[in-house]
Amino acid sequence: MWRVSATGAPSAAGDSTDATYKPDKITLRARLTLIYGLLFFAAGSLLVIVNYVIVAQTLYGLDLRVMVGDFMPDEAYQDDFRQGIIDSVLQDLTRNSVIALLAVGIIALVLGYAVAGRALSPLKRITRTARRLSERSLHERIALGGPDDEIRELADTFDDMLERLDRAFAGQRRFVANASHELRTPLAINRTLLEVALADADVSPDLKTVGHTLLETNSRHERLIEGLLLLAKSENELSERTLVDLREIATQVVSQLSADVSDANITVREELHSAPLTGDPVLLERLVANLVENAARYNRGEDGEIIIRVGRQDGAPALQVENPGPVIADYEVAGLFEPFSRGSPDRTRSSKSAGLGLSIVRSVVRAHGGELQAWPRPGGGLVVTVRFPAATH
């Protein structure tokens, strides 16, 4: 079974799910049961005390000397015998009342726990629906029935909020689709005009220099827009999933980037094993490519190395990309996955980077319901591990 290499302890980054201490919490059902129990024991104790007082007054009001006068002529013995009977009855009454209170109290706690669970079942339904909801499934509603009480009002308010969010996300999808066309078209026209102008043999060297500079600027803007649109798409829940093998995607990406990596004197070491999963092949290919490009861009100067591992981690398909490079502090790792983050001064971004690579990686992982971990490599560099849910057939 493939596991994370022991190069250092993972630190939280992106969607890292490292185990952290969480104090024990008492559920609302347990608190309600405890409140029910305390109220019952308080009322029961008060009832025992009142019953004790009533029985004591009744016993002291009885003339027991009439019953024992023939056997005990001495009044002193009669009073002692009377007091003994009263004390014995009151002791038995107290003991039996406490035992009965404890027995019935335990039954009350069990019944209170059941009643609390039934009363909170609508809240559990709301919670399950909220956890299941995503950008793709905002059309779902709780539609809680039953009496028109506070919980019903909460469910209806939640449904109204979902309706507004559904309309907002639908508008966002339309905006992304329109922006994709409106932003790409003028840049494509500019690139074409510049290329045609530079192809003219009569263009002066100064104009060629300016033209190439404008082409590079135009290309950088295209990459930025492409990255922003891809980031917006990857942050949405996947509407369609395809069964793919992460090993095949990694092999294809390494093949496509082999020329660029070789030109940078970087060696790619592959440890690829089959790792099937369901997801969007285009987004997954972009994820792997961004990790490899980032590892190449911030690699050690000469004779650099990139290690790519694909396989299974704890039964789940996983990918790990490791590279030497500048020293990164633990507290800087999470910031590397933010859009346009530059990290430490040693990690100056290349002019070919739009600053969105690792942000897109994090968004793609989220869209696939995966987990992302990253931590500094001893001696410099970064180790990024991505784990996805197992493939569903």
In this structure, the answer to whether residues 261 and 175 fall within a common structural domain is no
The Cα–Cα gap between 358 and 339 comes to: 8
User: How many residues make up the chain in this entry?
Assistant: 393
pLDDT digits (tens, 9 = 90+) for 115-129: 888 888 888 888 887
Do the domain assignments include residue 188?
yes
When mean pLDDT is compared over 23-27, 299-303, 366-370, the highest value belongs to 366-370
Q: Would you say the pTM of this structure is higher than 0.75?
A: no
In this structure, the answer to whether residues 250 and 383 fall within a common structural domain is yes
pLDDT digits (tens, 9 = 90+) for 258-309: 888 888 888 899 999 999 999 888 889 889 988 998 898 888 766 789 999 9
Do the domain assignments include residue 5?
no
Do the domain assignments include residue 287?
yes
In this structure, the answer to whether residues 161 and 286 fall within a common structural domain is no
The Cα–Cα gap between 393 and 381 comes to: 37
Instruction: Specify the residue for token string 């190449």.
Output: 296
Mean pLDDT of 11-27: 52
Closest by Cα among 210, 390, 230, 371 to 311: 390
Classify 308 as helix, strand or coil. Answer: strand
pLDDT band with cut points at 50, 70 and 90 for residue 246: very high
In this structure, the answer to whether residues 353 and 269 fall within a common structural domain is yes
In this structure, the answer to whether residues 287 and 169 fall within a common structural domain is no
pLDDT band with cut points at 50, 70 and 90 for residue 218: confident
Full residue range of the structural domain in which residue 94 is found? 28-132
Do the domain assignments include residue 93?
yes
In this structure, the answer to whether residues 247 and 230 fall within a common structural domain is no
In this structure, the answer to whether residues 83 and 159 fall within a common structural domain is no
pLDDT digits (tens, 9 = 90+) for 111-170: 988 988 888 888 888 888 777 775 556 777 777 877 777 888 888 888 888 888 878 877
Do the domain assignments include residue 18?
no
Which element (helix H / strand E) includes 71? Answer: none
In the chain, the N- to C-terminal Cα span, in Å, equals: 21
In this structure, the answer to whether residues 197 and 276 fall within a common structural domain is no
Number of domains in the chain: 3
Q: Is 310 within 8 Å of 272 (Cβ atoms)?
A: yes
In this structure, the answer to whether residues 249 and 274 fall within a common structural domain is yes
